[in-house]
Amino acid sequence: MATVLGRGCRRCVREMSEEIELKLGLPPAVAADVCRHPLLQGFQTTQNLCSTYYDTQDLVLYRHGIALRVRAGDGGDLQTVKRAGKVTVGLSERAEWEQPWTGTFGFSDVEDPETRELLQAVAPGLRPVFSTEFRRELGVFTQGETVIRAMVDQGVIRTSTAVEPLCELELELGSGDPSDLYRLALVLSETLPLWPEDRSKAERGYRLLRDGEIAEVIGGPHPIPTRAGAALQQLMAGELRDWQRYVRLAEQDLAQAVHQVRVTQRRLRSLLNLFSPVLGAAFVATWRRRLGDNARRLGAARDLDVLCDQLLPRIIDDKNAGDGPAQWRALEAERRRVRADAGAALAAPVQGRLMLELMTALVAHLPANDDRELQALAARRMSRLRRRLRKRVGVLPSADPVAWHRLRIAAKELRYGLDFLAPLWRAKEVKRYRRHLRRIQKYLGQFQDVEAASQKLATPPAEYLEGAVLQRQLEHYYRKRTRRWRTRALDAARALLRAPAPWRRTRDRKRAKLPCDS
Q: Please enumerate in sequence order all residues whose Cβ is within 8 A of that of 364, keeping only pairs 6 or more positions apart, or say none.
A: 179
Q: Is the peptide bond before 397 cis (omega within 30 degrees of 0)?
A: yes
Half-sphere exposure of 332 (CA within 13 A, CB side): 8
Within 76-137, where are the H helices?
113-122
Q: How far apart are CA 348 and CA 237, in angstroms?
A: 18
- Across the chain, how many H-helices and E-strands are there? 17, 9
User: Regarding predicted confidence, which is higher, 311 or 8?
Assistant: 311
Q: How far apart are CA 492 and CA 481, in angstroms?
A: 16
Mean pLDDT of 403-425: 97
The per-residue pLDDT of the chain, averaged, comes to: 87
Mean pLDDT of 237-252: 95
Q: How far apart are CA 345 and CA 295, in angstroms?
A: 10
Angle at 76 between CA 75 and CA 78, to 5 degrees: 120
Q: Say whether 296 sits in a helix, a strand or coil.
A: helix
Q: How far apart are CA 237 and CA 245, in angstroms?
A: 12
pTM of the model: 0.88
User: How long a stretch of residues is the chain?
Assistant: 518
Tens of pLDDT, residue by residue over 1-46, are 222 223 333 333 334 467 789 999 999 999 999 999 999 988 877 8
pLDDT score, position 465: 54
Tens of pLDDT, residue by residue over 319-377, are 544 445 567 778 888 999 999 999 999 999 999 999 999 999 998 888 766 788 999 99
CB-based burial label for 457 (10 Å; 0-12, 13-18, 19+)? buried
Largest CA-CA distance found in the chain, in angstroms, rounded: 79
Q: Indicate the range of 91-95, 221-225, 322-326 predicted with least confidence.
A: 322-326
pLDDT score, position 217: 42
Spatial contact of 19 and 172, defined as CB atoms under 8 Å apart: yes
Q: Say whether 274 sits in a helix, a strand or coil.
A: helix
Angle at 353 between CA 347 and CA 354, to 5 degrees: 95
Q: What single DSSP character describes residue 180?
A: H
Q: Indicate the range of 82-91, 223-232, 380-389 predicted with least confidence.
A: 82-91
Mean pLDDT of 428-437: 95
Q: What are phi and psi of 44, to 5 degrees?
A: -75, -10
Q: Please enumerate in sequence order all residues whose Cβ is within 8 A of that of 348, keeping only pairs 6 or more positions apart, or say none.
A: 25, 193, 195, 247, 248
Spatial contact of 133 and 211, defined as CB atoms under 8 Å apart: no
Angle at 223 between CA 221 and CA 229, to 5 degrees: 110
